[in-house]
């Protein structure tokens, strides 16, 4: 891993941590966050990339 890749990884990790903390503070249970992260990690590992359709997810009430 290059110095630049390591720097990008650290930055991405910090951004994800901030997002998770903010989401938990907004009332989303930590166990729900863990379940979603595991599902997404499995999907990304299977597909080999992050689906760009995740960019603009539908509001929760529209997903039902």
Residue 7: C-alpha distances to residues 10, 16, 18, 64 (Å): 5, 14, 17, 39
Please write the tens of the pLDDT for every residue from 7-62: 999 999 999 999 999 999 999 999 999 999 999 999 999 999 988 887 776 666 65
Structural domain harbouring 26: 21-50
Is residue 63's pLDDT more than 70?
A: no
Whether residue 37 is contained in a domain is answered as yes
> Which SS3 state, helix, strand or coil, does residue 54 take?
helix
Contact predicate 19/36, CB 8 Å: no
Q: The whole model's pTM is what?
A: 0.68
pLDDT at 12: 94
Helical H segments across 1-64, by residue range: 3-25, 30-47, 60-63
Whether residue 25 is contained in a domain is answered as yes
Whether residue 63 is contained in a domain is answered as no
pLDDT at 43: 92
Number of structural domains in the chain: 1
């Amino acid at each position: 891993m290059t110095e630049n890749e390591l720097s990008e990884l650290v930055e991405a990790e910090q951004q994800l941590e901030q997002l998770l903390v903010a989401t938990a503070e907004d009332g989303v249970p930590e166990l729900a966050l863990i379940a979603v992260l595991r599902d997404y990690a499995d999907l990304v590992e299977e597909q080999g990339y992050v689906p760009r359709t995740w960019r603009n997810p539908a509001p929760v009430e529209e997903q039902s």
